[in-house]
Structure 1
Amino acid sequence: MRLDNKVAIITGGASGMGRAEAEAFAAEGARVVIADLNEVMAEEAAAGIRSAGGTALAVRTDVTDEQNLENLVARTIAEYGQIDVLVNNAGVFDKYATSLETAGAQWDFIFNINVKSVFNLTNLVLPGMIAQGGGSIVNIASVAGLVAGKGGAAYTASKHAIIGYTKHLAATYGKDGIKINAICPGTISTPLIAASLADIPTDAIPLRRFGESAEVADLAVFLASDEAKFMQGAMVPIDGGFTIQ
Protein backbone atom coordinates (compact mmCIF):
# COMPACT_ATOMS: atom_id res chain seq x y z
CA MET A 1 0.00 0.00 0.00
CA ARG A 2 1.23 3.48 -0.88
CA LEU A 3 0.99 4.98 2.62
CA ASP A 4 1.66 1.90 4.70
CA ASN A 5 2.33 2.80 8.37
CA LYS A 6 2.39 6.53 7.67
CA VAL A 7 0.66 8.74 10.22
CA ALA A 8 -1.48 11.45 8.64
CA ILE A 9 -3.35 14.37 10.18
CA ILE A 10 -6.22 15.65 8.06
CA THR A 11 -7.94 18.84 9.18
CA GLY A 12 -11.60 19.25 8.30
CA GLY A 13 -11.63 15.50 7.94
CA ALA A 14 -15.19 14.83 9.07
CA SER A 15 -16.97 15.62 5.81
CA GLY A 16 -16.58 16.54 2.15
CA MET A 17 -13.09 16.43 0.68
CA GLY A 18 -11.53 15.90 4.11
CA ARG A 19 -13.53 12.78 4.82
CA ALA A 20 -12.80 11.41 1.37
CA GLU A 21 -9.10 12.08 1.97
CA ALA A 22 -9.21 10.35 5.36
CA GLU A 23 -10.88 7.28 3.86
CA ALA A 24 -8.48 7.18 0.92
CA PHE A 25 -5.41 7.55 3.12
CA ALA A 26 -6.61 4.80 5.45
CA ALA A 27 -7.31 2.51 2.50
CA GLU A 28 -3.67 2.97 1.47
CA GLY A 29 -2.42 1.92 4.90
CA ALA A 30 -2.08 5.23 6.73
CA ARG A 31 -2.99 5.70 10.35
CA VAL A 32 -5.31 8.67 10.09
CA VAL A 33 -6.09 11.42 12.59
CA ILE A 34 -9.31 13.22 11.72
CA ALA A 35 -9.27 16.75 13.12
CA ASP A 36 -12.59 18.56 12.96
CA LEU A 37 -14.71 20.96 14.97
CA ASN A 38 -17.69 18.62 14.58
CA GLU A 39 -16.75 15.93 17.06
CA VAL A 40 -19.74 13.69 16.29
CA MET A 41 -19.09 13.62 12.55
CA ALA A 42 -15.36 13.18 13.08
CA GLU A 43 -15.95 10.12 15.26
CA GLU A 44 -18.44 8.74 12.72
CA ALA A 45 -15.80 9.10 9.99
CA ALA A 46 -13.15 7.45 12.17
CA ALA A 47 -15.52 4.62 13.13
CA GLY A 48 -16.30 4.02 9.46
CA ILE A 49 -12.60 3.69 8.71
CA ARG A 50 -12.06 1.32 11.62
CA SER A 51 -15.02 -0.82 10.59
CA ALA A 52 -13.45 -1.13 7.14
CA GLY A 53 -10.25 -2.44 8.70
CA GLY A 54 -8.31 0.81 8.84
CA THR A 55 -6.81 2.79 11.70
CA ALA A 56 -8.24 6.17 12.62
CA LEU A 57 -8.51 8.56 15.54
CA ALA A 58 -10.93 11.50 15.81
CA VAL A 59 -9.79 14.63 17.65
CA ARG A 60 -12.15 17.55 18.14
CA THR A 61 -10.22 20.53 16.85
CA ASP A 62 -11.00 24.19 16.38
CA VAL A 63 -8.24 25.10 13.94
CA THR A 64 -8.44 28.76 14.94
CA ASP A 65 -7.47 27.86 18.53
CA GLU A 66 -3.72 27.38 18.97
CA GLN A 67 -4.17 25.31 22.12
CA ASN A 68 -6.49 22.98 20.20
CA LEU A 69 -3.81 22.56 17.54
CA GLU A 70 -1.18 21.84 20.18
CA ASN A 71 -3.50 19.21 21.65
CA LEU A 72 -4.04 17.68 18.19
CA VAL A 73 -0.31 17.25 17.66
CA ALA A 74 0.23 15.94 21.19
CA ARG A 75 -2.63 13.41 20.87
CA THR A 76 -1.27 12.20 17.54
CA ILE A 77 2.25 11.71 18.93
CA ALA A 78 0.90 10.01 22.05
CA GLU A 79 -1.23 7.61 19.97
CA TYR A 80 1.04 6.90 17.01
CA GLY A 81 4.50 8.23 17.90
CA GLN A 82 5.08 10.39 14.84
CA ILE A 83 3.55 12.57 12.14
CA ASP A 84 4.49 11.76 8.55
CA VAL A 85 1.81 13.62 6.61
CA LEU A 86 -0.19 16.77 7.21
CA VAL A 87 -3.13 17.62 4.97
CA ASN A 88 -4.25 21.19 5.65
CA ASN A 89 -7.76 20.70 4.33
CA ALA A 90 -9.98 22.72 6.69
CA GLY A 91 -11.45 25.79 5.03
CA VAL A 92 -14.48 27.99 4.62
CA PHE A 93 -16.06 29.70 1.63
CA ASP A 94 -17.46 33.23 1.44
CA LYS A 95 -20.31 32.65 -1.03
CA TYR A 96 -18.70 34.85 -3.69
CA ALA A 97 -18.94 38.01 -1.56
CA THR A 98 -17.31 40.97 -3.27
CA SER A 99 -14.95 43.29 -1.43
CA LEU A 100 -17.71 45.81 -0.68
CA GLU A 101 -19.92 42.98 0.55
CA THR A 102 -17.23 41.70 2.94
CA ALA A 103 -17.17 43.05 6.49
CA GLY A 104 -13.89 43.15 8.36
CA ALA A 105 -15.04 40.44 10.74
CA GLN A 106 -15.85 38.15 7.80
CA TRP A 107 -12.43 38.80 6.27
CA ASP A 108 -10.74 37.88 9.56
CA PHE A 109 -12.92 34.77 9.93
CA ILE A 110 -11.97 33.50 6.47
CA PHE A 111 -8.26 34.22 6.96
CA ASN A 112 -8.11 32.72 10.45
CA ILE A 113 -9.39 29.40 9.15
CA ASN A 114 -7.99 29.31 5.62
CA VAL A 115 -4.54 30.78 6.29
CA LYS A 116 -3.56 31.34 9.92
CA SER A 117 -4.54 27.84 11.00
CA VAL A 118 -2.37 26.40 8.22
CA PHE A 119 0.58 28.49 9.40
CA ASN A 120 0.08 27.52 13.04
CA LEU A 121 -0.38 23.79 12.50
CA THR A 122 2.43 23.56 9.97
CA ASN A 123 4.81 25.19 12.45
CA LEU A 124 3.79 22.63 15.06
CA VAL A 125 4.54 19.61 12.85
CA LEU A 126 7.65 20.89 11.06
CA PRO A 127 10.12 20.35 13.94
CA GLY A 128 9.14 16.69 14.25
CA MET A 129 9.36 16.13 10.51
CA ILE A 130 12.79 17.76 10.42
CA ALA A 131 13.98 15.61 13.34
CA GLN A 132 12.79 12.37 11.73
CA GLY A 133 14.33 13.27 8.38
CA GLY A 134 11.26 13.96 6.30
CA GLY A 135 7.54 14.17 5.81
CA SER A 136 4.89 15.43 3.45
CA ILE A 137 2.58 18.42 3.65
CA VAL A 138 -0.37 18.81 1.28
CA ASN A 139 -2.15 22.16 1.40
CA ILE A 140 -5.62 22.43 -0.10
CA ALA A 141 -5.65 25.69 -2.02
CA SER A 142 -8.07 26.42 -4.88
CA VAL A 143 -8.25 27.54 -8.48
CA ALA A 144 -9.27 30.80 -6.79
CA GLY A 145 -5.61 31.06 -5.86
CA LEU A 146 -4.57 30.70 -9.49
CA VAL A 147 -7.08 32.87 -11.33
CA ALA A 148 -9.01 35.96 -10.31
CA GLY A 149 -12.74 36.00 -9.81
CA LYS A 150 -13.33 32.33 -9.02
CA GLY A 151 -14.35 33.07 -5.44
CA GLY A 152 -15.23 36.02 -3.30
CA ALA A 153 -12.75 38.64 -2.14
CA ALA A 154 -11.68 37.05 1.13
CA TYR A 155 -11.69 33.48 -0.18
CA THR A 156 -9.70 34.39 -3.30
CA ALA A 157 -7.15 36.35 -1.28
CA SER A 158 -6.82 33.55 1.28
CA LYS A 159 -6.14 30.92 -1.37
CA HIS A 160 -3.54 33.14 -3.06
CA ALA A 161 -1.93 33.39 0.37
CA ILE A 162 -1.86 29.60 0.76
CA ILE A 163 -0.14 29.23 -2.60
CA GLY A 164 2.52 31.77 -1.64
CA TYR A 165 3.01 30.10 1.73
CA THR A 166 3.32 26.67 0.09
CA LYS A 167 6.04 27.97 -2.20
CA HIS A 168 7.95 29.40 0.77
CA LEU A 169 7.71 26.12 2.67
CA ALA A 170 8.79 24.07 -0.33
CA ALA A 171 11.79 26.28 -1.02
CA THR A 172 12.86 26.37 2.64
CA TYR A 173 12.32 22.85 3.94
CA GLY A 174 12.98 20.66 0.93
CA LYS A 175 16.57 20.28 2.13
CA ASP A 176 15.15 18.63 5.26
CA GLY A 177 13.44 15.94 3.22
CA ILE A 178 10.00 17.48 3.57
CA LYS A 179 7.85 17.38 0.46
CA ILE A 180 5.35 20.26 0.29
CA ASN A 181 2.76 20.74 -2.44
CA ALA A 182 -0.71 22.20 -2.91
CA ILE A 183 -3.88 21.00 -4.57
CA CYS A 184 -6.01 23.60 -6.36
CA PRO A 185 -9.52 22.21 -6.73
CA GLY A 186 -12.08 23.76 -9.01
CA THR A 187 -15.75 23.39 -8.16
CA ILE A 188 -16.08 20.19 -6.16
CA SER A 189 -19.46 18.85 -5.10
CA THR A 190 -19.24 19.04 -1.29
CA PRO A 191 -21.65 19.97 1.53
CA LEU A 192 -19.73 23.26 1.90
CA ILE A 193 -21.08 24.63 -1.38
CA ALA A 194 -24.09 22.37 -1.92
CA ALA A 195 -26.51 25.28 -1.70
CA SER A 196 -24.65 27.16 -4.43
CA LEU A 197 -24.19 24.35 -6.98
CA ALA A 198 -27.52 24.90 -8.72
CA ASP A 199 -26.45 28.46 -9.54
CA ILE A 200 -23.00 27.55 -10.89
CA PRO A 201 -22.89 26.83 -14.64
CA THR A 202 -20.60 24.13 -15.99
CA ASP A 203 -20.12 25.84 -19.36
CA ALA A 204 -16.67 27.16 -18.38
CA ILE A 205 -15.47 23.65 -17.43
CA PRO A 206 -14.24 21.67 -20.45
CA LEU A 207 -15.35 18.40 -18.84
CA ARG A 208 -18.81 19.96 -18.29
CA ARG A 209 -19.22 18.69 -14.74
CA PHE A 210 -18.18 19.38 -11.16
CA GLY A 211 -15.48 17.38 -9.45
CA GLU A 212 -16.00 14.76 -6.76
CA SER A 213 -14.37 14.65 -3.35
CA ALA A 214 -12.91 11.21 -4.09
CA GLU A 215 -11.04 12.63 -7.07
CA VAL A 216 -9.33 15.22 -4.87
CA ALA A 217 -8.59 12.53 -2.30
CA ASP A 218 -6.87 10.37 -4.92
CA LEU A 219 -4.62 13.30 -5.83
CA ALA A 220 -3.82 13.95 -2.16
CA VAL A 221 -2.79 10.31 -1.72
CA PHE A 222 -0.51 10.56 -4.74
CA LEU A 223 1.16 13.76 -3.49
CA ALA A 224 1.68 12.27 -0.03
CA SER A 225 3.12 9.04 -1.40
CA ASP A 226 6.60 8.18 -2.67
CA GLU A 227 5.19 8.20 -6.19
CA ALA A 228 5.46 12.00 -6.00
CA LYS A 229 8.86 12.08 -4.31
CA PHE A 230 10.35 14.52 -6.86
CA MET A 231 7.39 16.92 -6.74
CA GLN A 232 8.10 20.01 -4.66
CA GLY A 233 6.24 23.32 -4.52
CA ALA A 234 3.74 22.18 -7.15
CA MET A 235 0.34 23.84 -7.41
CA VAL A 236 -1.75 21.08 -8.97
CA PRO A 237 -5.12 22.07 -10.45
CA ILE A 238 -7.91 19.53 -10.36
CA ASP A 239 -10.62 21.50 -12.08
CA GLY A 240 -11.91 19.70 -15.16
CA GLY A 241 -9.81 22.02 -17.32
CA PHE A 242 -11.16 25.33 -15.99
CA THR A 243 -7.77 27.01 -15.72
CA ILE A 244 -6.55 26.11 -19.21
CA GLN A 245 -8.88 28.62 -20.83
Structure 2
Amino acid sequence: MEVRGKCVVVTGGANGIGRALCDAFARGGARAIGIADIDPSTAASVAAAVQAKYPACQTLPRRVDVSSEAAVQAFADEFTGRFGQIDVFCSNAGIMMRKGIETTDVEWLRMWGVNVMGHVNAAKAVLPQMLARGSGYFVNTVSAAGLLSQIGSASYATTKHAAIGFAEWLSITYGDRGIRVSCVCPQGVQTRMLLGEDGARKGFLQEGSVTPEFVAEKTLEGIANEQFLILPHEEVLEYYRRKGKDYDRWLRGMRRLQEQVSQQFGLGI
Protein backbone atom coordinates (compact mmCIF):
# COMPACT_ATOMS: atom_id res chain seq x y z
CA MET A 1 0.00 0.00 0.00
CA GLU A 2 1.09 3.55 -0.76
CA VAL A 3 0.47 5.75 2.31
CA ARG A 4 0.41 9.04 0.42
CA GLY A 5 -3.04 10.57 0.62
CA LYS A 6 -4.29 7.98 3.09
CA CYS A 7 -6.22 8.54 6.32
CA VAL A 8 -4.53 6.83 9.25
CA VAL A 9 -5.36 6.16 12.90
CA VAL A 10 -2.61 5.40 15.43
CA THR A 11 -3.49 4.20 18.93
CA GLY A 12 -0.90 4.73 21.63
CA GLY A 13 0.14 7.61 19.41
CA ALA A 14 1.42 9.98 22.09
CA ASN A 15 4.70 8.24 22.90
CA GLY A 16 7.33 5.79 21.72
CA ILE A 17 6.61 3.80 18.59
CA GLY A 18 3.20 5.43 18.19
CA ARG A 19 4.63 8.93 18.16
CA ALA A 20 7.28 7.88 15.65
CA LEU A 21 4.60 6.27 13.46
CA CYS A 22 2.61 9.52 13.40
CA ASP A 23 5.65 11.42 12.20
CA ALA A 24 6.55 8.76 9.64
CA PHE A 25 3.05 8.63 8.15
CA ALA A 26 2.91 12.42 7.92
CA ARG A 27 6.33 12.49 6.27
CA GLY A 28 5.10 9.82 3.85
CA GLY A 29 2.25 12.04 2.75
CA ALA A 30 -0.72 10.84 4.79
CA ARG A 31 -3.70 13.18 4.42
CA ALA A 32 -4.94 12.85 8.01
CA ILE A 33 -3.79 11.13 11.19
CA GLY A 34 -5.91 10.29 14.21
CA ILE A 35 -3.80 10.20 17.38
CA ALA A 36 -5.54 8.14 20.03
CA ASP A 37 -3.96 7.75 23.45
CA ILE A 38 -4.85 7.36 27.11
CA ASP A 39 -2.87 10.62 27.66
CA PRO A 40 -4.85 13.35 25.86
CA SER A 41 -2.49 16.25 26.56
CA THR A 42 0.52 14.48 25.06
CA ALA A 43 -1.59 13.32 22.12
CA ALA A 44 -2.52 16.96 21.50
CA SER A 45 1.16 17.96 21.65
CA VAL A 46 2.07 15.29 19.11
CA ALA A 47 -0.76 16.46 16.85
CA ALA A 48 0.44 20.06 17.03
CA ALA A 49 4.03 19.05 16.30
CA VAL A 50 2.97 16.95 13.30
CA GLN A 51 0.87 19.74 11.82
CA ALA A 52 3.62 22.31 12.36
CA LYS A 53 6.14 20.07 10.60
CA TYR A 54 3.80 18.78 7.87
CA PRO A 55 1.10 21.43 7.26
CA ALA A 56 -0.64 19.35 4.57
CA CYS A 57 -1.41 16.59 7.10
CA GLN A 58 -4.44 17.15 9.32
CA THR A 59 -4.61 15.60 12.78
CA LEU A 60 -7.25 14.59 15.31
CA PRO A 61 -5.99 13.88 18.84
CA ARG A 62 -8.30 12.26 21.37
CA ARG A 63 -8.22 10.38 24.65
CA VAL A 64 -9.07 6.75 23.92
CA ASP A 65 -8.87 3.67 26.13
CA VAL A 66 -8.40 0.91 23.54
CA SER A 67 -9.75 -1.73 25.93
CA SER A 68 -13.17 -0.06 25.58
CA GLU A 69 -15.06 -1.11 22.45
CA ALA A 70 -17.34 1.92 22.76
CA ALA A 71 -14.40 4.34 23.02
CA VAL A 72 -12.62 2.93 19.97
CA GLN A 73 -15.85 2.94 17.96
CA ALA A 74 -16.63 6.54 18.94
CA PHE A 75 -13.19 7.71 17.86
CA ALA A 76 -13.38 5.78 14.58
CA ASP A 77 -16.80 7.31 13.89
CA GLU A 78 -15.60 10.83 14.66
CA PHE A 79 -12.49 10.46 12.51
CA THR A 80 -14.47 8.96 9.63
CA GLY A 81 -17.07 11.70 9.88
CA ARG A 82 -14.37 14.34 9.59
CA PHE A 83 -12.06 12.79 6.99
CA GLY A 84 -14.30 10.36 5.12
CA GLN A 85 -12.67 7.02 5.88
CA ILE A 86 -9.93 5.12 7.67
CA ASP A 87 -7.48 3.52 5.26
CA VAL A 88 -4.90 2.34 7.80
CA PHE A 89 -5.54 1.52 11.45
CA CYS A 90 -2.34 1.19 13.46
CA SER A 91 -3.35 -0.68 16.59
CA ASN A 92 -0.20 0.22 18.49
CA ALA A 93 -1.21 0.72 22.13
CA GLY A 94 0.27 -1.81 24.54
CA ILE A 95 1.25 -2.23 28.17
CA MET A 96 3.76 -4.32 30.10
CA MET A 97 3.58 -5.90 33.54
CA ARG A 98 6.67 -7.56 34.98
CA LYS A 99 5.06 -10.31 37.02
CA GLY A 100 4.71 -14.07 36.85
CA ILE A 101 2.17 -16.39 38.42
CA GLU A 102 1.45 -13.80 41.12
CA THR A 103 -0.31 -11.59 38.53
CA THR A 104 -3.82 -10.91 39.84
CA ASP A 105 -7.04 -11.50 37.93
CA VAL A 106 -7.55 -7.76 37.65
CA GLU A 107 -4.06 -7.34 36.20
CA TRP A 108 -4.60 -10.18 33.72
CA LEU A 109 -7.83 -8.57 32.56
CA ARG A 110 -6.13 -5.20 32.10
CA MET A 111 -3.32 -6.76 30.05
CA TRP A 112 -5.83 -8.71 27.98
CA GLY A 113 -7.98 -5.63 27.48
CA VAL A 114 -5.19 -3.51 26.04
CA ASN A 115 -2.85 -6.02 24.37
CA VAL A 116 -5.51 -8.23 22.79
CA MET A 117 -8.92 -6.56 22.85
CA GLY A 118 -7.36 -3.32 21.64
CA HIS A 119 -6.77 -5.09 18.31
CA VAL A 120 -10.18 -6.75 18.35
CA ASN A 121 -11.92 -3.45 19.07
CA ALA A 122 -10.05 -1.78 16.21
CA ALA A 123 -11.23 -4.46 13.81
CA LYS A 124 -14.82 -4.21 15.04
CA ALA A 125 -14.77 -0.45 14.58
CA VAL A 126 -13.41 -0.15 11.05
CA LEU A 127 -13.67 -3.53 9.32
CA PRO A 128 -17.21 -2.84 8.03
CA GLN A 129 -16.17 0.32 6.14
CA MET A 130 -13.03 -1.36 4.82
CA LEU A 131 -14.99 -4.36 3.53
CA ALA A 132 -17.53 -2.04 1.91
CA ARG A 133 -14.67 -0.35 -0.01
CA GLY A 134 -12.81 -3.59 -0.64
CA SER A 135 -9.61 -2.20 0.85
CA GLY A 136 -8.03 -1.42 4.20
CA TYR A 137 -4.96 -2.08 6.30
CA PHE A 138 -4.48 -3.13 9.92
CA VAL A 139 -0.99 -2.57 11.32
CA ASN A 140 -0.81 -4.22 14.73
CA THR A 141 2.18 -3.51 16.96
CA VAL A 142 2.76 -6.78 18.76
CA SER A 143 6.30 -7.76 19.83
CA ALA A 144 8.88 -10.44 19.21
CA ALA A 145 7.40 -11.83 22.44
CA GLY A 146 4.38 -12.89 20.37
CA LEU A 147 6.60 -15.13 18.25
CA LEU A 148 9.06 -16.16 20.93
CA SER A 149 8.24 -15.36 24.58
CA GLN A 150 8.94 -12.86 27.33
CA ILE A 151 11.19 -13.59 30.26
CA GLY A 152 9.81 -12.11 33.46
CA SER A 153 6.23 -11.41 32.34
CA ALA A 154 3.64 -14.16 32.06
CA SER A 155 0.88 -11.80 30.97
CA TYR A 156 2.96 -10.05 28.31
CA ALA A 157 4.11 -13.33 26.76
CA THR A 158 0.57 -14.69 26.75
CA THR A 159 -1.25 -11.63 25.42
CA LYS A 160 1.30 -11.02 22.68
CA HIS A 161 0.92 -14.61 21.45
CA ALA A 162 -2.85 -14.05 21.39
CA ALA A 163 -2.39 -10.82 19.44
CA ILE A 164 -0.45 -12.68 16.75
CA GLY A 165 -3.21 -15.28 16.62
CA PHE A 166 -5.90 -12.66 16.08
CA ALA A 167 -3.89 -10.93 13.34
CA GLU A 168 -3.38 -14.25 11.56
CA TRP A 169 -7.13 -14.89 11.73
CA LEU A 170 -7.89 -11.45 10.29
CA SER A 171 -5.54 -12.02 7.37
CA ILE A 172 -6.83 -15.53 6.67
CA THR A 173 -10.48 -14.50 6.89
CA TYR A 174 -10.42 -11.20 5.01
CA GLY A 175 -7.21 -11.16 2.95
CA ASP A 176 -9.05 -12.15 -0.22
CA ARG A 177 -11.51 -9.29 0.32
CA GLY A 178 -8.88 -6.55 0.16
CA ILE A 179 -7.92 -6.38 3.84
CA ARG A 180 -4.20 -6.33 4.55
CA VAL A 181 -2.67 -7.09 7.94
CA SER A 182 0.84 -6.55 9.29
CA CYS A 183 2.30 -7.40 12.69
CA VAL A 184 5.21 -5.28 13.86
CA CYS A 185 7.36 -7.50 16.08
CA PRO A 186 10.49 -5.79 17.41
CA GLN A 187 12.65 -6.87 20.31
CA GLY A 188 14.06 -4.06 22.45
CA VAL A 189 12.89 -0.57 21.50
CA GLN A 190 14.16 2.54 23.29
CA THR A 191 10.85 3.58 24.84
CA ARG A 192 9.59 3.97 28.39
CA MET A 193 8.55 0.30 28.37
CA LEU A 194 12.19 -0.75 28.00
CA LEU A 195 14.04 2.15 29.62
CA GLY A 196 11.70 3.05 32.46
CA GLU A 197 10.45 6.56 33.23
CA ASP A 198 13.94 7.74 34.21
CA GLY A 199 15.59 6.28 31.11
CA ALA A 200 18.02 4.37 33.29
CA ARG A 201 16.62 0.82 33.27
CA LYS A 202 19.17 -1.82 32.41
CA GLY A 203 18.31 -5.22 30.98
CA PHE A 204 19.24 -7.83 28.45
CA LEU A 205 17.12 -6.25 25.68
CA GLN A 206 19.05 -2.99 25.93
CA GLU A 207 21.83 -4.49 23.86
CA GLY A 208 20.69 -4.39 20.28
CA SER A 209 17.75 -2.11 21.04
CA VAL A 210 16.60 0.26 18.30
CA THR A 211 14.91 3.65 18.26
CA PRO A 212 11.16 4.11 17.76
CA GLU A 213 12.00 6.02 14.58
CA PHE A 214 13.80 2.98 13.19
CA VAL A 215 10.75 0.80 13.94
CA ALA A 216 8.48 3.33 12.24
CA GLU A 217 10.71 3.41 9.16
CA LYS A 218 10.68 -0.39 8.92
CA THR A 219 6.92 -0.37 9.44
CA LEU A 220 6.29 1.89 6.46
CA GLU A 221 8.61 -0.28 4.37
CA GLY A 222 6.60 -3.33 5.44
CA ILE A 223 3.31 -1.64 4.57
CA ALA A 224 4.65 -0.74 1.12
CA ASN A 225 5.52 -4.41 0.60
CA GLU A 226 2.35 -5.65 2.37
CA GLN A 227 4.35 -7.98 4.63
CA PHE A 228 2.52 -9.81 7.39
CA LEU A 229 5.57 -9.95 9.67
CA ILE A 230 7.53 -6.72 10.02
CA LEU A 231 10.72 -7.49 11.91
CA PRO A 232 12.89 -4.48 12.83
CA HIS A 233 15.27 -7.02 14.39
CA GLU A 234 15.91 -9.39 11.49
CA GLU A 235 17.41 -12.04 13.77
CA VAL A 236 13.96 -12.70 15.25
CA LEU A 237 13.06 -14.68 12.13
CA GLU A 238 15.98 -17.04 12.70
CA TYR A 239 15.03 -17.48 16.37
CA TYR A 240 11.46 -18.26 15.28
CA ARG A 241 12.69 -20.83 12.77
CA ARG A 242 14.79 -22.52 15.46
CA LYS A 243 11.76 -22.61 17.74
CA GLY A 244 9.67 -24.33 15.09
CA LYS A 245 12.42 -26.74 14.10
CA ASP A 246 13.08 -28.09 17.61
CA TYR A 247 10.70 -26.78 20.27
CA ASP A 248 12.29 -28.69 23.15
CA ARG A 249 15.78 -27.49 22.32
CA TRP A 250 14.46 -23.93 22.06
CA LEU A 251 12.79 -24.18 25.48
CA ARG A 252 16.03 -25.44 27.02
CA GLY A 253 17.83 -22.48 25.49
CA MET A 254 15.23 -20.07 26.86
CA ARG A 255 15.63 -21.54 30.35
CA ARG A 256 19.37 -20.96 30.10
CA LEU A 257 18.74 -17.39 28.98
CA GLN A 258 16.33 -16.87 31.87
CA GLU A 259 18.98 -18.04 34.32
CA GLN A 260 21.56 -15.67 32.84
CA VAL A 261 19.12 -12.76 32.95
CA SER A 262 18.11 -13.58 36.51
CA GLN A 263 21.73 -13.64 37.68
CA GLN A 264 22.72 -10.45 35.88
CA PHE A 265 19.64 -8.27 36.05
CA GLY A 266 16.95 -10.03 38.04
CA LEU A 267 13.84 -11.22 36.21
CA GLY A 268 12.66 -7.65 35.56
CA ILE A 269 13.65 -6.40 32.14
**TM-score by structure 1 length?**
0.89
Aligned residue number for residue 123 of structure 1: 124
Confirm whether residue 65 of structure 1 aligns to residue 90 of structure 2: no
Cα 1:151–1:213 change in 2 (3 A) is farther
Q: Does 1:74 align with 2:77?
A: yes
Question: Could you say what secondary structure the match of 1:211 adopts?
Answer: coil
**Alpha-carbon contact 2:219-2:230 (below 8 Å) kept:** no
Partner of 1:26: 26
> Residue by residue, what CA displacement relative to the aligned partner does 1:67-123 show, whole Å, maximum 9, x if unpaired?
21121111111110001001110000112x11x221111111100011012101211
What is the one-letter code of the residue matched to 2:49?
G
Q: Which structure carries more strand by proportion?
A: 1
Aligned pairs for 1:105-116 within 5 A: 105-116=106-117
Partner of 1:216: 215
In structure 2, distance between residues paired with 1:157 and 1:216: 23
Superposed, 1:78-117 pairs within 5 Å as: 78-95=81-98, 97-98=99-100, 100-117=101-118
Residue equivalent to 1:37 = 38
Deviation at 1:137, TM superposition (A): 0.7
Contact 1:186 1:240 in 2 (8 A): no
User: C-alpha separation between the residues in 1 aligned to 2:140 and 2:229?
Assistant: 9
**Conserved in 1, the CA contact under 8 Å of 2:68 and 2:121?**
no
Q: Is the 8 A contact 1:16 1:213 kept in 2?
A: yes
Listed as ranges, the matches of 1:137-148 within 5 Å are 137-148=138-149
Preserved CA contact (<8 Å) 2:150 2:156: no
Aligned position for 1:48: 49
Letter in 1 for 2:187: G
The residue number in structure 1 matching 2:253 is: none
Alpha-carbon offset, residue 151 of structure 1: 5.2
How far apart are the structure 1 equivalents of 2:7 and 2:236?
A: 33
Identity percentage of aligned residues: 31
- Relative to structure 1, is the Cα distance of residues 242 and 5 closer, same or farther in structure 2, using a 3 angstrom cutoff? closer
Gapped runs of 5+ residues in structure 1? none
> Which of 208, 226, 230 is the matching residue for 1:236?
230
Aligned partner of residue 46 in structure 1, secondary structure: helix
The residue type equivalent to 1:58 in the other structure is P
Distance in 2 (CA, whole Å) between partners of 1:150 and 1:135 is: 35
Q: Which has the larger radius of gyration?
A: 2
Distance 1:221 1:55 in 2: 19
1:243 Cα deviation after fit: 5.6
**1:138/1:223 contact within 8 Å kept:** no
CA distance in 1, matches of 2:200, 2:134: 43
Aligned residue pairs, count = 234
Q: Distance in 1 between matches of 2:75 and 2:22?
A: 16
Q: Measure the CA separation in 2 of the matches of 1:159 and 1:171.
A: 19
Task: Please state if 1:14 is matched with 2:11.
Answer: no
Asked whether the 8 Å contact 1:13–1:22 carries over to 2, the reply is yes
Alpha-carbon RMSD:
1.9
**Counterpart secondary structure, 1:126:** helix
